[in-house]
Amino acid sequence: MPPKGRVTAPVSLSPAAAKNGMGGKNDKNKEEKPKKLNAQQVALNKVVEVADRLYKQHEQERVKTETADQISRRGAILDAALEKERLRIDKAEHEKIVKEMEEREQLAYRECEKHRIWSRIPHASRLPQVDSESSINTFLAVWRDEEREYDKHTPLVTVINRRNSVGGGLQNYYFINGEFGVSPAARKKMVESELQQCLEAYELTEAIRLEADRSLTQLKMEDLTFFSKNIGKVCEQVLNSLDFITIHALLGYDVILEGPNSEFLTMSVPPTNPVVKYGLWVKVKETTRSFASMVFPNIAIRLDPKSSALPKLPKALGLSKENVAVRVIQLGFNPHEHHGSIGREFYALNCVIKLDLLNFTERPKHVGDWLYRSETEEAHALHLVPYPPEVLESNEEDLSLRVSFEAPNSIVMRHSSLLIGKWLEASKDWEPCSHTSASTDSTGTEGRRCVFATSEFATFAVLQEKGFDVPYEQWRLHPVSFDQVLMVLEGRRRGEGSDREFRILIQDAQCKLLAPEDPELAHLRENWLEPATLIRLLSQTGFNFLLDDEDAKFLENIVPKTSALEEKAYADIAQFCLFYAIASSRHNKCGEDADLALFRVSKQSRALDNDERLEVQLDEDSDWHSVRYQTQCCAFAAIRESDEVPDLHILEGHESHFNLYTLLLHEKGEEVRLQAVHHTNFLLRRCVFQLLRLIRPLTWG
C-alpha cells in the first residue's frame, strides 16, 4: 500500500506484456512458438473422442432396442393372453366331450367287470379268498396246527365197547394203544404232504399277485401294501415248513431216506417244471471219509471242488464229522419279493437256491428189539452250522466250491454268464457276489445248467439289472382294427444276443405277447392277460419294463417326467392310437426337461369305415407330425427325426392347444370329434393307457 499522502499513478502495460504476465519487463520467450502436445496426450484425446462417439451410438441403439423390446413384450403379453384364452376354450371343449362320454364309458367298465367276475366261477379254488386277510390267516393257522400235531405225536387209542348180554346194562371197554412213535409210512407221507402244501401256498401267492396287479393299474397303493403283507406271511410259512420237513427228516432219516444204503432225500413238486426242489444229504455211515463231489440225484444240483487241481471238497465243510447234513433247496419263486426292489439296482428272478450246513443231535439207536429216538426240544430244532466256520483248522485252505444247478424254464438265458446275488437279511436286499459259467450236462451237450463259485453257504438267486433295457430304443402304437392295437417296444439296443423287440397285441381289456419267439415266453404268447400281469411276468423272465423314479439314479442322463405330464399324455395317446399311428421320437431326451415330452403322430389316420391295419413308414418325416407335449399345452413342433439338432419351436402356421384332442380338432376338423366321441372303444383305450402308465415310454424311452 503506498505511503499515506502520496498518490500513485497507474502504469499501463503493453498487450504483449500483459499476455505474458511480465509487466514492463522484457520477455525472453515472447518470440517462441507454442509447445506441441505429447503422444500420450494425443492418444488420450483420441480415446475420449472415440468413447464419446460410441456412447452416442450406443444410446441410439439402446433406445432403438428398448423400443423394440417394448413392442415385443406387448406382443408377447398379447400372445400369452390369447394363448391363455385359447387354452381355456380348449379345456372347456374337452371337458364337454368327456362329460358327454362319461355315462357310456362307465357302463362299458361295469359290463367288463361283471364278465370278469363271472369268468372266475368255473375256476373256483380251494384256496382262501385273496382279498380276505382272515381267510388267509385261517389257511396258515390250520397249516401250523397240523405241524404242531405231528410234532407232538399222540398215539392213537382204539376203544372197543362190548355188552355182556342182550339188553344188559353192563358194558366192557377195551383200550388198545397204537404205535407210540410215528410210523415210517406216516413220516414219508408228512414230507410229501408238507411239500404239497408249499405248492398250494405258492399258488396262493400267485393268486394274490393277480389281484395286486389290478390294484397297481388302478394306483390303489393301500391295497398293494395289503397284498404285499399277505404274500410275505405266506412265503414266511413256506420257509418255516421247509425247516419243519428238514427237522423231522433228520429225526427219522433211517426210514425217510430213499433206501437202506442211501444218504439222500430228494423231491420235486410238481414233478414237471418244479416250483420246489428239495435235497438233503445225511451222513449215515460212521466212517471218516472225504468227498470228491456231492451230487443230489433227481434235482440236478451238485457241489464240486472249485477247480480240477483240488480233487476234494473243502475240509472246512466238516463232512467227516458225526451227525452232519447238507441241505439244498431250489425255489421257482422269490420268497423275499414282498420286501420290494424300488430304488435297488438289481432284482431277483424266479430262481432262488438255498445252501445250508446242518448238525443234528443224536442218531436213532437199536437196543435189542427196541429203537430209541431223541425227542427232546433240542432235537426238534434246526441247527444251522455257519460256513465258512468261525474257527479254521488251516488258514491256507481254499474254502471255495462250485455249485451247479439247472436254470428253470421260466427264465430267458439272455447272457452267457448270469449274475448271482446273496441275500442280506439285515438290509433285506440282494448283493451281487458271483457269476455263472456254462456247464455241460451228463450227455455232454450244452443245456440250461449253470455253475457258480462261492466260499460260503447262504441264500442265492439269479439277479437281473433293473434298468438293463433302459433307455428304450423305440416304441410305437399301430391301430390294427376297431378293437385291436399293436404295441412295438424295443429295449436298449446293445448289439448283443440279449436284444429283443417286443410286439404286444392289445384287444379290449387284455393283451398278449406276439414276439419274440423265445420258448420261455410261450405262456405269454398263448394267454390273454391284463397289462400289469403281462409286464410282471415279463419281468420275471428277465425283461424288466417296470421301473420307478427312484431307479433313475442308476441310469445316466435320465430325468423322470412329471406324473401330471405322463397321466395327461398317456390318456391322449390311448385315445387316438385307435386311429393314428403314434411313435417315439429320438429327440425326446433333448434338454431333459421333466415337463416336456416329444413324440410323433401320423398325418394319415385309419378311416372310420376301414377295419384294416394302418401302416406308416417310420423313417419318412413327411408322414409324421412331431408333437411337443407339456402339462398345460401341446403343439406341432418343427422337429424332424433326421435332424441332428432338433428345432423345438412351434411349427409355422400352427398354435398351441390344451391337449391332443383339441390340437387334432383344429387340424382335421369334425373327423376328430367323430373318432374321439362316437367311434371310440373305451375298454381298449383304458387298456392302452394302463400299459403306457406301467412302462412309461416318455420317461424311459
Give the pLDDT confidence of 174-193 residue by residue, as tens digits: 666 656 677 788 889 999 99
Residues 560 and 10: their CA atoms lie apart, in Å, by 100
Whether pLDDT at 303 is above 90 = yes
| Weakest-pLDDT range from 369-378, 491-500, 616-625 | 369-378
**Across residues 28-53, what is the average pLDDT?**
74
Q: Judging by beta carbons within 10 Å of its beta carbon (0-12, 13-18, 19+), is residue 413 exposed, middle or buried? A: middle
Structure confidence at residue 446 (pLDDT): 54
495-518 per-position pLDDT tens digit: 888 899 999 999 999 999 999 999
| Weakest-pLDDT range from 1-5, 562-566, 626-630, 643-647 | 1-5
**Across residues 383-408, what is the average pLDDT?**
88
Residues 94 and 632: their CA atoms lie apart, in Å, by 13
Among all chains, which residue has been given the C-alpha cell 373318432? 675
148-177 per-position pLDDT tens digit: 988 877 667 677 776 665 665 566 666 666
Percent of the chain with pLDDT over 70: 89
Structure confidence at residue 174 (pLDDT): 66
Shortest CA distance to 621 belongs to which of 603, 595, 634, 645?
A: 603
**Across residues 227-244, what is the average pLDDT?**
97
**Across residues 29-45, what is the average pLDDT?**
69
* Contact (Cβ atoms closer than 8 angstroms) between residue 387 and residue 456: yes
Structure confidence at residue 645 (pLDDT): 87
Residue with more model confidence, 31 or 456: 456
Structure confidence at residue 363 (pLDDT): 82
Beta strands in 634-700 (DSSP E): 634-637
What is the distance, to the nearest Å, from the Cα of residue 684 to the centroid of all Cα atoms in its chain?
Answer: 25
**Across residues 439-448, what is the average pLDDT?**
56
Whether pLDDT at 7 is above 70 = no
In the structure, what pLDDT confidence band is assigned to residue 68 with cuts at 50, 70 and 90? confident
26-35 per-position pLDDT tens digit: 554 555 556 6
In the structure, what pLDDT confidence band is assigned to residue 19 with cuts at 50, 70 and 90? very low
Residue with more model confidence, 373 or 14: 373
Q: What secondary structure, in 3-state letters, does 501-565 show?
A: EEEEEEECCEEEEEECCCHHHHHHHHCCECHHHHHHHHHHHCCCCCCCHHHHHHCCCCCCCCHHH
Q: What 8-state DSSP symbol labels residue 313?
A: -
Was domain 277-465 assigned CATH 2.60.220?
Answer: yes
**Across residues 460-469, what is the average pLDDT?**
96
In the structure, what pLDDT confidence band is assigned to residue 521 with cuts at 50, 70 and 90? very high
Domain boundaries, the chain: 277-465, 474-700
Residues 544 and 418: their CA atoms lie apart, in Å, by 16
Q: What is the largest CA-CA distance in the chain?
A: 189
* Contact (Cβ atoms closer than 8 angstroms) between residue 690 and residue 532: yes
pTM comes to 0.85
Partners of 636 in the β-ladder? 627
Q: Which three cell numbers stand for residue 61?
A: 441403439
In the structure, what pLDDT confidence band is assigned to residue 390 with cuts at 50, 70 and 90? confident
Structure confidence at residue 176 (pLDDT): 64
Structure confidence at residue 464 (pLDDT): 96
In the structure, what pLDDT confidence band is assigned to residue 11 with cuts at 50, 70 and 90? very low
User: 260 preceded by cis ω (within 30°)?
Assistant: no
Structure confidence at residue 169 (pLDDT): 59
Residues 561 and 345: their CA atoms lie apart, in Å, by 20
Whether pLDDT at 355 is above 60 = yes
Whether pLDDT at 419 is above 70 = yes
**Across residues 660-688, what is the average pLDDT?**
91
Whether pLDDT at 213 is above 70 = yes
**Across residues 15-25, what is the average pLDDT?**
46
Structure confidence at residue 121 (pLDDT): 77
Q: CA geometry: angle at 698 spanning 464 and 469, to 5°? A: 20
Whether pLDDT at 591 is above 80 = no
**Across residues 378-405, what is the average pLDDT?**
88
Whether pLDDT at 611 is above 80 = no
Residue with more model confidence, 576 or 49: 576
118-130 per-position pLDDT tens digit: 887 777 678 999 9
Q: What secondary structure, in 3-state letters, does 316-355 show?
A: HHCCCCCCEEEEEEEECCCCCHHHCCCCCCEEEEEEEEEE
Whether pLDDT at 375 is above 90 = no
Among all chains, which residue has been given the C-alpha cell 410305437? 476
Q: CA geometry: angle at 27 spanning 26 and 28, to 5°? A: 115
Whether pLDDT at 281 is above 50 = yes
Q: Which of 112-121, 239-248, 487-496 has the highest mean pLDDT?
A: 239-248
Whether pLDDT at 282 is above 50 = yes
Structure confidence at residue 613 (pLDDT): 78
Structure confidence at residue 177 (pLDDT): 63
Structure confidence at residue 440 (pLDDT): 54
Whether pLDDT at 662 is above 90 = yes
Q: Judging by beta carbons within 10 Å of its beta carbon (0-12, 13-18, 19+), is residue 482 exposed, middle or buried? A: middle
**Across residues 620-624, what is the average pLDDT?**
93
In the structure, what pLDDT confidence band is assigned to residue 56 with cuts at 50, 70 and 90? confident
Structure confidence at residue 25 (pLDDT): 47
Structure confidence at residue 291 (pLDDT): 84
72-120 per-position pLDDT tens digit: 888 788 878 888 999 999 999 999 999 999 999 999 999 999 998 888 7
Structure confidence at residue 495 (pLDDT): 84
Structure confidence at residue 614 (pLDDT): 82
**Across residues 45-54, what is the average pLDDT?**
87
Shortest CA distance to 117 belongs to which of 107, 126, 109?
A: 109
Q: At what angle do helices 660-668 and 39-119 cross, to 10 degrees?
A: 100
Residues 263 and 281: their CA atoms lie apart, in Å, by 6
Three-state DSSP class for residue 389: coil
Mean confidence (pLDDT) of the chain: 87
